[in-house]
Chains A and B, each alone.
Chain A
């Protein structure tokens, strides 16, 4: 089955700096890579995702990059703000056919943005 490794486990930055979280996956059949943000006391919420036919995707201050050959993908947050402080999870999934899109999650990264 799929295995997703996520690094670092904790990340501390100053407000305005950039933050990068990296994930690797093992199953070459995976073709969908979402990122979830979990705020304290809440369930994870999708913030951005990327499909395997795309190398990069941006949405305002966040971006994801995907290297399918190397089987790794990354989340980039620019101009970080204190409200970006949360736990971030990467995930990988195979979609299509009879697959229902089972997600395999990474271990999570605790991001702290200091004012």
Chain B
């Protein structure tokens, strides 16, 4: 089954304690992204990756790091989490569909993070 998986699904942590949220896709997609979802703000892109070892900042990258060492994995790292990073996080992957040039993004189930 084609899917994007994220772990953990729920996480409660304390300020300053480093954490990693993993993301993996089994569709051989070259593009992967991380978003955060906050009420009234929609989905905002944190970081994206166009392929292995190629990453770039999205709209709200402060306080986050990513890496793309393998095509299927795109972990999100919070080196020193703060309460304003409490949010719902989604990983997504996509590829250019042949002929149309369009990209359908496939989203993971989300990770709800609470930083106290």
Contact = CB atoms under 8 A, between A and B. Distances in A.
A100 B4 contact: no
Interface string B30-58: 01000100001111110010100000001
* Range, interface on chain A: 20 to 34
A51 B110 contact: no
Interface stretch (B14-22, B68-76, B78-86, B98-106): B98-106
B104 A44 contact: no
Interface in A27-54: 32, 34, 36, 41-46, 49, 51
Contact of A101 (B4, B40, B96, B107): B96
B90 A101 contact: no
A102 B102 CA distance: 11
Contacts of B92: 43
A49 B97 CA distance: 13
B102 A32 contact: yes
B94 interface: yes
The 7 A-B residue pairs with the shortest CB-CB distance, nearest first, are: A43-B107, A101-B103, A105-B43, A105-B42, A107-B42, A44-B107, A108-B42
Interface of A: 1, 4, 6, 9, 32, 34, 36, 41-46, 49, 51, 89, 93, 95-96, 100-103, 105-108
